Chains A and B, each alone.
Chain A
Amino acid sequence: AQTVTQSQPEMSVQEAETVTLSCTYDTSESDYYLFWYKQPPSRQMILVIRQEAYKQQNATENRFSVNFQKAAKSFSLKISDSQLGDAAMYFCAYRSAKPGNQFYFGTGTSLTVIP
């Protein structure tokens, strides 16, 4: 089975600064998708950004961008101009490109934004 590792249980960042959350994964597949989900205290899972493995270009979504290194199986999330509302648990997730395949989640990184 695929595994997703988030080695930073907790991170903090000053408001307006930039922070990078790390994620690595293990797979033997060549075609897959990677995601970052945000989980605020309400515990709803909110999609932040997604990356198709066949695309070399890193995905960006406003203040959120990823650094996708396929050979290294690394998928980090960069949050620029951090805002208080960014404080949440962030989960990295992997899924195969096969239709209907499940998500594999990492253990999460708790992000604190310091005013």
Chain B
Amino acid sequence: EPEVTQTPSHQVTQMGQEVILRCVPISNHLYFYWYRQILGQKVEFLVSFYNNEISEKSEIFDDQFSVERPDGSNFTLKIRSTKLEDSAMYFCASGGLAGTDTQYFGPGTRLTVL
């Protein structure tokens, strides 16, 4: 069964550094998402991406963040100048065209900012 994959599984970085989190969505999906989960808290939406542009973003997704689909398979989340409060689990998800489709989540990347 196809699945969403994410790399790396754990990323440790120093405050102020840039990180890129990578995701490979399910191949025939058209919508891509990033979510964040701070330890002990609920999963929060960051951004959705469709047809090579952002379709929706939350207030969390400020200028520090950017997303890109550099090729036909990868979907990346870049965090510029990381802050301590960016430490969280970051989930990538993908879904099909119709609203009936479920979003399938990747295993997550645990980001630790020191």
Contact = CB atoms under 8 A, between A and B. Distances in A.
8 contacts: A33-B100, A43-B89, A45-B91, A47-B104, A50-B102, A99-B97, A101-B99, A102-B56
B44 interface: yes
B67 to A, nearest CB: 14
Interface residues of A, number: 28
Interface of B: 31, 33, 35, 37, 41-45, 48, 50, 55-56, 58, 89, 91, 93, 95, 97-100, 102-105, 107-108, 110
Main secondary structure of the interface of B (DSSP, over half): strand
Interface of A: 31, 33, 35, 37, 42-47, 50, 52, 91, 93, 95-108
A103 B42 contact: no
Contact of A103 (B41, B50, B103): B103
Given A42-B107, A43-B37, A44-B107, A99 B45 contact: no
